[in-house]
Amino acid sequence: MGIEIENIHKQFGAFSALGDVSLSIPSGELVALLGPSGCGKTTLLRIIAGLETPDSGRILFNGEDTTRSHVRERRVGFVFQHYALFRHMTVFDNVAFGLNVRPRQTRPSKEEISEKVMKLLRLVQLENMASRYPSQLSGGQRQRIALARALAVEPQVLLLDEPFGALDAQVRAELRRWLRRLHDEIHVTSVFVTHDQEEALEVADRIVVMNRGKIEQAGTPDEVYEQPATAFVLNFLGNVNLFHGRKSQRQTQQGGQPADANVSGGVDDTQAVAYVRSHDIEIERSRQDATALKAEIRHIQKLGPAVRVTLAIEESGEFLEAELTRDVYQNLGLQQGEQVFVRPRQVRVFVEDYQI
């Protein structure tokens, strides 16, 4: 089922949580709302669910206006950040809740409910936990039960608020892959909120990057990563280096479009900022061409498979961070204090006063 979000506004007192947000979510996709905390992503999710009411704007489910319909009637599945499992009920009763509260006419029989619950517990691989209480489960298990509970009512849309936020790194990575596989299996339109770019890039079909109550960019993971629409998007997805008002780069992109490096044409120098991702910086022993800059290695930090090199550019004194693979690093045999040449592979220039 497709969701249309049209011109949603939401104000909390003096704070504008969402300002004129419009978005279209195609049926069957897994969409990530990505952004820093306070950017309005959770508010948007809660508005889609019907847990909050927008001040203006509309939410359409399959072309039908649901803005004023109650959360009960929307048939959404919602997985809360802290799961909101019913503490006094067993895992089984938690999953069965949505079926048990149906009016008598539409409520399935006890056997049907039991069968369905067990099927869902098998789906989330927790069938032997049916009689446990939430407090006896690990974080990852609670997460999966919350998901099973949401799926039990056969929702038209599945909404997940920071689904992996409260888990430790390993369980998180595991559940991420599992969620992706599960979505490929059941294909229900899903929206999840996250502040973790890696998570969004790995799991989602589409990523919606949000900042300060507005959508910065919506697109496939490749699109938002390769062709960031704004400096914010570029910054939020990966480590970047900044060059203020520099003109020496050759190959740059402006707003995703290739442009001449001498950005001075039509653009005020003081406003233009060039961005280079740290793994887009090449380090060379000798100057290959004119784009290379002379720099001194100030610090080398080994981070597992990667190596982070901090360099000071001779000309401007600015600091740069380059990320190399261990192979490249070993082949070059870099040492602290050495003079090398750095060459940005890809530079993007944005004309705005965005500050990190």
Partner 1 sequence: MSAPVTSIPTSNGSKKRTQTEPAAVRWLLISIALVFLTLFLALPLFAVFTQAFEKGLTVHLEALKEPDTLSSIKLTLITAAVTVPLNLFFGVTAAWAIAKFSFPGKNLLITLIDLPFSVSPVISGLIYVLIFGLQGWLGPWLQAHDIRIVFAVPGIILATIFVTFPFVARELIPLMEAQGKEEEEAALVLGASGLQTFFRVTLPNVKWGIIYGVILCNARAMGEFGAVSVVSGHIRGMTNTVPLHVEILYNEYNYTAAFAVASLLAFLALITLAVKTVAEWKVRQQLDNN
Partner 2 sequence: MRLFKRQNNVLPGFGLTLGFTIFYLSVIVLIPLSALVFRTSGLTWGEFVTTVTAPRVLASYKVTFGSAMIAALINSVFGVLVAWVLVRYRFPGRRIVDALVDLPFALPTAVAGITLATIYSPNGWVGRFLEPHGIKVAFTPVGIVLAMTFIGLPFVVRTVQPVIEEIEIELEEAASCLGANRWQTLQLVIFPMLLPSILTGFALSFARAVGEYGSIIFIAGNMPMVSEITPLLIITKLEQFDYRGATAIACVMLLTSFSMLLVINLLQKWSRRYAD
Residue 220 binding partner per list partner 1, partner 2, none, with a CB distance cut-off of 5 to 8 Å that depends on partner kind: none
Minimal distance in Å, beta carbon 141 to partner 1? 8
Which x/- pattern, by CB under 8 A, does the window 64-93 give for partner 1? ------xxx--xxxx-x-x-xxxxx-----
Contact assessment for residue 192 and residue 25, using Cβ atoms and an 8 Å cutoff: no
Minimal distance in Å, beta carbon 23 to partner 1? 21
Minimal distance in Å, beta carbon 86 to partner 2? 16
Residue 153 binding partner per list partner 1, partner 2, none, with a CB distance cut-off of 5 to 8 Å that depends on partner kind: partner 1
Binding residue (CB under 8 A) for partner 1 from 135, 170, 257, 286: 135
Minimal distance in Å, beta carbon 174 to partner 2? 33
Residue 52 binding partner per list partner 2, partner 1, none, with a CB distance cut-off of 5 to 8 Å that depends on partner kind: partner 2
Asked if 51 is part of the footprint of partner 2 (rule: CB under 8 A), the reply reads yes
Asked if 1 is part of the footprint of partner 1 (rule: CB under 8 A), the reply reads no
Q: What is the DSSP letter of 109?
A: P
Nearer to partner 1, 28 or 98 (CB): 98
* Stretch near partner 2 under the rule CB under 8 A, chosen from 48-56, 165-173, 207-215, 331-339: 48-56
Contact assessment for residue 255 and residue 337, using Cβ atoms and an 8 Å cutoff: no
Helix (H, G, I), strand (E, B) or coil at 97: helix
Helix (H, G, I), strand (E, B) or coil at 104: coil
Residue 219 binding partner per list partner 2, partner 1, none, with a CB distance cut-off of 5 to 8 Å that depends on partner kind: none
Cα torsion through 57, 215, 245, 276, rounded to 10: 180
Q: DSSP readout, 161-204?
A: ESTTTTS-HHHHHHHHHHHHHHHHHH--EEEEEES-HHHHHHH-
Binding residue (CB under 8 A) for partner 1 from 45, 137, 193, 215: 137
Which x/- pattern, by CB under 8 A, does the window 62-101 give for partner 2? --------xx------------------------------
**42: phi then psi, degrees, rounded to nearest 5:** -70, -40
Binding residue (CB under 8 A) for partner 2 from 52, 162, 216, 323: 52
Contact assessment for residue 147 and residue 141, using Cβ atoms and an 8 Å cutoff: no
Asked if 332 is part of the footprint of partner 1 (rule: CB under 8 A), the reply reads no
17-36: which residues touch partner 1 (CB under 8 A)?
A: none
Asked if 236 is part of the footprint of partner 1 (rule: CB under 8 A), the reply reads no
Distance CA 277, CA 348 (A): 9
Size of interface with partner 2, in residues (CB under 8 A):
6
What phi-psi label fits residue 83: left (phi over 0), alpha (psi between -120 and 50 degrees) or beta? Answer: left
Q: DSSP readout, 262-318?
A: -TTTTS-TTTEEEEEEGGGEEEESS--STT-EEEEEEEEEEETTEEEEEEEETTT--
Asked if 40 is part of the footprint of partner 2 (rule: CB under 8 A), the reply reads no
Distance CA 326, CA 305 (A): 6
Residue located via tokens 């992503």:
41
Distance CA 180, CA 314 (A): 46
Q: Which residues bind partner 1 (CB under 8 A)?
A: 49-51, 70-72, 75-78, 80, 82, 84-88, 97-98, 101-102, 128, 134-139, 141, 149-150, 152-153
